Amino acid sequence: MNPAQLTLAIALTLTAMFGQAKAAEPQVPALWDSKERLPKPELSALPRLRFLTTTDFPPFNFIDKSGRLSGFHVDLARAICAELGIAEKCQIQALPWDELDSALSRGDGEALIAGLPATAEGREKYAFSRPYLQLPARFIMRKAQAITEPLADKLQGKRIGVIAGSAHERVLRDYFGNVKVVTYTRPEWLNIDLKDGKLDAVFGDGMRLSFWLAGTDAAGCCRFAGGPYLAPEYLGTGLTIATGTDNAALAAAFDYALHEIAAKGTFAELYLRYFPVSFY
């Protein structure tokens, strides 16, 4: 087993144990060490802090019924500003996704809060906060057939649906090699076949699966089974806040605020508000 495989195997095992032990209550991602102490930033000289986001990815960013910009990212940005003591200096503006990069480059904003991952390529033009949310892989099954960890042996020979060519397909084939992989090109077909009993389980992005489980199309048929599974080598390291490379101090300030928000329970409140069917 190479180092990357070993890292993923450990992640799969630990998160599966977490999911089994705490399955009875809604789970909130815990990405911050409560014992860690980060330096409080001094931002009194900061003239303003403009967050740039989008409007088209609910529940992260969307326009609500009253025409206001809303969503998890919007409330998280406000919580960060409050924690940093600069609420009166904060603004949040929504732009089309393909305009965010140029707007930040022009100085039309100081930070992007739009679900950017911290990739090696991205680090050439951005400074990133630490991840505030990771997106685990999950299995869902019909309630009557749902099983608990450890899943590997229990899934042997089962028909598992997954989106063709996705990172989740690679995880499924590499670490659950004793299942019958059934690939789909559209998630709605995948979920319908699970609901109709044509599949034993679906494996995919936990966040998107949580939306389906909470929606009317699922009609209460199914639930999460096992997991969550964090696999950074396949699924990335999570969502971050980005600033310009010349503004790394601001990214560090976000780390401080995110740590404090997590410690005080504010992050958990926001997470469960927007993701009532937790994907953890």
194-246 residue pLDDT tens: 999 999 999 999 999 999 999 999 999 999 999 899 989 999 999 999 999 99
Is the fold of 3-25+137-229 the same as that of 49-134+237-274? Answer: yes
Rounded Cα gap, residues 193 and 188, in angstroms: 9
Nearest to 154 by CA among 179, 132, 129: 179
Single pTM value for the model: 0.86
Nearest to 256 by CA among 264, 239, 51: 264
- What's the burial of 118, exposed, middle or buried (CB within 10 Å: 0-12/13-18/19+)? buried
- Helix, strand or coil, per DSSP, at residue 241: strand
**Per the CATH hierarchy, to which homologous superfamily does domain 3-25+137-229 belong?**
Periplasmic binding protein-like II (3.40.190.10)
- Decide if pLDDT at 4 tops 60: no
Which tokens in the block code for residue 244? 């310009």
Cis amide linkage into residue 228, ω under 30° from 0: yes
Within 10 A of 120 (CB to CB), how many other CB atoms are there?
A: 6
Rounded Cα gap, residues 231 and 220, in angstroms: 28
Domain ranges for the chain: 3-25+137-229, 49-134+237-274
**Arithmetic mean of pLDDT over the chain:** 90
Q: For domain 49-134+237-274, give the fold.
A: D-Maltodextrin-Binding Protein; domain 2 (3.40.190)
